[in-house]
Structure 1
Amino acid sequence: MGLVLIQDQTRWDQFIDKSPHGLLFHKWNFLKTIELHSGYELLPYGIYKGESLICVIPLFYKKIRGLKFLFSPPPQTGVPFLGFAMCRDYTTLKQNKKENFLNIVADEFHRQISKISPHYTHISLVPNLLDIRAFTWNQYSVTPSYTYILDLTETLDNIWNNFQHELRREIKLGEKLYLRLVKSNDVSPLYYFLKERYKEQNLHLPIISKSYLEDLIRLYPEHIVIHYLYDDREIIGVNMTHEYKIFIGWLGAVRFSNAIRSNEYLTWKLIQRAKEKGFKAFELHGANRKNLCQFKTKFNPSLELTFAINQKNKLGQLAEWAYFNLIKRR
């Protein structure tokens, strides 16, 4: 069957539930929400080997000022990675079959990209999809990226003891101050905190709108949770978490204070929550910026590699410039 557009939501979501690479970001209604708010057209492709669906890839297409863009995920969604999700059996296959599957996926993908003929294509892959050779053989450029993963299969005591000594001291200070972590579905304080955080860094907020976040919360109240950290009645920190297969500290911000290291305490409380809920891994997203790494490494996570693949045609340089200087910054 090759590559086809999938229009069956149930089939799509069942595949994502079973896929070793499927995240909440891949779920049908999440993708449709991105389409609604971003203005990009969702192309939910499935790739078959014979009659078996072996991979899905949600792509987003948009034509801007005559330039054709293809993304997974598109900009301003806050989604750190998306791209390909392989079938449930992929990780247990022998190496020759894994490579056969990946070659089929890469070749079918490349054929479809050639038909669409975008000026610029950018796909951010999930962390545990590391064999991207088949895409380089099809002349795609590959950029490495990184994230931090904390192993939650360890006991909570072992996790705590592996923290940097100074971090443990800062968390204990938060305990003495009786800070409170409160779950909420109110997006407004989160959105305000994020706007202020990026404004302080002279950056544009990488989120489409507040209503975009509100729709996601409404759709996935069990899997997207906002946590507000209070000092008495004042909110001093916030984090919106992805709680599906893996626990991700997704979108967050804090009020900076020399007296209260709120981010340290907030992260520790989220780690405890993830452990209590039975998650096996906690992702400390944001290992690509030097100023963030110093904070995140206090928790002694492991460094995990991710990749982005991209391709540009003759007008691609202009499209790439537009992406980084106009589109991504908006």
Structure 2
Amino acid sequence: MNEIEVRELAPSEFREWDTLVERNQPGTPFHTSDWLQIYRDVLLRDVRIYGCFRNDELVGGCPVFVKNLKGILKVASSISSMTDYCGPLINESSSSKTGRRVQENHEILNSLREFLCSQGFDSIHLKFSPGFEDIRPFTWNGWDSKVHYTHYLDLKEDVNDNISRTIRRDLKSATGAGLETRKWSNPETYYGLLSKVYERQNLKIPLPRKFFEKVFDLMRKKDIGYMFVSETPEGETVAAHLTLYGKNSTIGWSSARDPAFSLRGTNALLYYNEFLDLQSRNFEYMNVMAGNIPRFAEFIMAFSPRLVPYYSVTLENKRYSSLKALYKIATNAKIGIVPSNFY
């Protein structure tokens, strides 16, 4: 088997990378060079796309955010603020033999793993997209692993057959109050709602206004997604979803509801009508990213989705592990070191 070369991609190779993302099922909008460029431009993040080549053909790779922490630690992660997963991708083997396919896939991942380990990172954290199932080239080589969950709502089935009585009551309440839903493209509206959510919890919003403006620009220019909103009869937007397009599917990226608007059913109506809209456009399923937070998971289960696991792997050297342990002990001391979920 030909040796795999791993190196950082040049900007001139980003189109080839985006083709790989589009061609492979675990590829998502989060992997694309356009999406990663927003983090680079707005947040000034050090974002690198490492590509795996066999005979000069791009056959895999992984985007990585690199951070130097106070000049002490150098960490790498495939995720950043409000990007829950964006891990390695591989060009799946076309061999008809299972053993050969596994061998070729593992060769790509092992080469990527060895390359990352050679870059002098104190910590490496990779979170794979749902659908990427074989992470053994990492776990077999001492990386820690963790399972996460999302929900897939089957849009080939009748939505009305699968909703709970609670959702039916909520829908009746929302429609009785005159709430309506529609698509709308307005970053100010969304940022305003999201700000209220975080202010209510005395938290800082994780991304600046400019980031959302760039995302909305990308939605308009390249049709990567849309915003779906719920409005009162007076035209006030009280809830919104930002949804991205996947492959025969969509990804519920971010949602926000005005915490001062207490009417039951606001989110239920928004999700329900969005599901019906996606069905009318022949999407197969929606990835509702609500599986890791109990109250969100409980709500979305009322629509009878399928629970889907996805995985992350982490490798930390002794220095990083020791400093992380000290951080946990001295949680009230400002020592300038952040935990492994910094990104």
- Say whether residues 1:239 and 2:241 are aligned partners: yes
Q: Residue 7 of structure 2 corresponds to which residue in structure 1?
A: 4
**Cα distance between partner residues in 2 of 1:243 and 1:273:** 13
**Cα distance between partner residues in 2 of 1:39 and 1:115:** 24
- 1:40 Cα offset (Å): 2.3
**Cα distance between partner residues in 2 of 1:291 and 1:223:** 28
Which moved further from structure 2: 184-193 or 230-239?
Answer: 184-193
Which moved further from structure 2: 98-107 or 297-306?
Answer: 98-107
Q: Judge conservation of contact 1:128–1:306 (CA < 8 Å) in 2.
A: yes
**Cα distance between partner residues in 2 of 1:146 and 1:213:** 25
Rate the CA distance shift 1:128–1:91 in 2: closer, same or farther, 3 A.
farther
- 1:319 Cα offset (Å): 5.3
- 1:279 Cα offset (Å): 1.4
**Cα distance between partner residues in 1 of 2:94 and 2:255:** 32
Rate the CA distance shift 1:199–1:151 in 2: closer, same or farther, 3 A.
same
Q: Residue 181 of structure 2 corresponds to which residue in structure 1?
A: 181
Q: Residue 229 of structure 1 corresponds to which residue in structure 2?
A: 230
Rate the CA distance shift 1:164–1:212 in 2: closer, same or farther, 3 A.
same
Rate the CA distance shift 1:141–1:326 in 2: closer, same or farther, 3 A.
closer
Rate the CA distance shift 1:252–1:128 in 2: closer, same or farther, 3 A.
same
CA RMSD of aligned residues (A): 2.2
Q: Residue 100 of structure 2 corresponds to which residue in structure 1?
A: 97
Letter in 2 for 1:15: L
For structure 1, which runs of at least 5 residues remain unmatched after alignment? none
- 1:93 Cα offset (Å): 5.3
Q: Residue 273 of structure 2 corresponds to which residue in structure 1?
A: 269
Q: Residue 68 of structure 1 corresponds to which residue in structure 2?
A: 74
In our comparison, the structure showing a higher alpha carbon Rg is: 2
**SS where residue 266 of structure 1 aligns?**
helix
Rate the CA distance shift 1:258–1:28 in 2: closer, same or farther, 3 A.
closer
**SS where residue 324 of structure 1 aligns?**
coil
Partner deviation per Cα, 1:193-235 (whole Å, 9 max, x = no partner)? 222223333444332x110111121123222312221012221
Q: Judge conservation of contact 2:196–2:258 (CA < 8 Å) in 1.
A: no
Q: Judge conservation of contact 2:174–2:263 (CA < 8 Å) in 1.
A: no
Letter in 1 for 2:304: N
Corresponding residue pairs, total: 321
What's the TM-score, normalizing by structure 2?
Answer: 0.86
- 1:140 Cα offset (Å): 1.0
Q: Which one of 38, 50, 53 corresponds to residue 48 of structure 1?
A: 53
Q: Residue 166 of structure 1 corresponds to which residue in structure 2?
A: 166
**SS where residue 302 of structure 2 aligns?**
helix
Rate the CA distance shift 1:2–1:206 in 2: closer, same or farther, 3 A.
same
Q: Residue 139 of structure 2 corresponds to which residue in structure 1?
A: 136
Q: Judge conservation of contact 1:248–1:282 (CA < 8 Å) in 2.
A: yes
Q: Which one of 273, 279, 293 corresponds to residue 297 of structure 2?
A: 293
- 1:53 Cα offset (Å): 2.8
Q: Which one of 115, 125, 129 corresponds to residue 126 of structure 1?
A: 129
Q: Judge conservation of contact 1:20–1:86 (CA < 8 Å) in 2.
A: no
Percent identity among equivalent residues?
A: 21
Q: Which one of 310, 316, 319 corresponds to residue 312 of structure 1?
A: 316
**Cα distance between partner residues in 2 of 1:94 and 1:83:** 26
**Cα distance between partner residues in 2 of 1:183 and 1:91:** 40
**SS where residue 300 of structure 1 aligns?**
coil
**Cα distance between partner residues in 2 of 1:295 and 1:97:** 43
Q: Judge conservation of contact 1:187–1:214 (CA < 8 Å) in 2.
A: yes
- Say whether residues 1:57 and 2:62 are aligned partners: yes
For structure 2, which runs of at least 5 residues remain unmatched after alignment? 328-336
Q: Judge conservation of contact 1:21–1:85 (CA < 8 Å) in 2.
A: yes
- Say whether residues 1:80 and 2:87 are aligned partners: no
Q: Which one of 17, 22, 25 corresponds to residue 27 of structure 2?
A: 22
- 1:258 Cα offset (Å): 5.0
- Say whether residues 1:112 and 2:112 are aligned partners: no
Q: Residue 339 of structure 2 corresponds to which residue in structure 1?
A: 324
**SS where residue 172 of structure 2 aligns?**
helix
Rate the CA distance shift 1:133–1:216 in 2: closer, same or farther, 3 A.
same
**Cα distance between partner residues in 2 of 1:260 and 1:291:** 15
Q: Judge conservation of contact 2:90–2:108 (CA < 8 Å) in 1.
A: no
**Cα distance between partner residues in 2 of 1:83 and 1:314:** 24
Q: Judge conservation of contact 1:194–1:253 (CA < 8 Å) in 2.
A: yes
Letter in 1 for 2:254: L
- 1:147 Cα offset (Å): 0.4
Letter in 1 for 2:69: I
Partner deviation per Cα, 1:277-316 (whole Å, 9 max, x = no partner)? 2211111112111122211100100100011111111222
Q: Judge conservation of contact 1:151–1:282 (CA < 8 Å) in 2.
A: yes
Rate the CA distance shift 1:111–1:204 in 2: closer, same or farther, 3 A.
same
Letter in 2 for 1:69: V
**SS where residue 167 of structure 1 aligns?**
helix
Partner deviation per Cα, 1:10-63 (whole Å, 9 max, x = no partner)? 211111111111111111111111122233222211213444432121112121
